[in-house]
Amino acid sequence: MEDLLPYLELFSLPHVDLKGLVGATPEFYELPMCDRDPLPFWSDERVTLLGDAAHPMYPVGSNGAGQAVLDAAGLVGHLRQHRDPVTALRAYQDDRPATAEIVRMNRAGGPERVIDEVERRAPDGFDRIDDVVKINELKSIVKGYAKVSRFALEQVNR
């Protein structure tokens, strides 16, 4: 509890007594977030992985859910395209290599890296974000991540 209380001071929600709410909680646990290194393959014969089973990563920017949806769409496309399921699963696996890079990028902060960058540059706060970092630089971070993760608008629309 004593480790948590300083962090509660950083938040303010109207009509919510955060200290009282947390203080009334009889037990709470701290669980470390972790991920796993990218797998060398996902498919073996007629079995494949998708979503978190294929590429567990930090829960940053809804990546797990987003990648699971993209995995499912890719899998369906390959199952429709290939008559042989083993060939379809291999093609699906080969078509989704970007997820290994997404796992690695998440370790560096993922799309929320923009928040970390602002914090690094202005640990004591700021009045205007333009005094800390230019908006084009932040957009570049987000767009680069979106492209790798296939969340970029033109990729999603395809």
**Which of the 8 DSSP states describes residue 87?**
H
Average pLDDT per consecutive 10 residues, the chain (158 residues; last block may be shorter): 84 86 83 77 91 79 78 93 96 81 76 83 90 87 75 65
At residue 86, the 3 state secondary structure works out as helix
**Rounded CA gap, 45 and 107, in Å?**
31
Task: Report which residue type is found at 59.
Answer: P
Query: pTM of the predicted model, to two decimals?
Result: 0.61
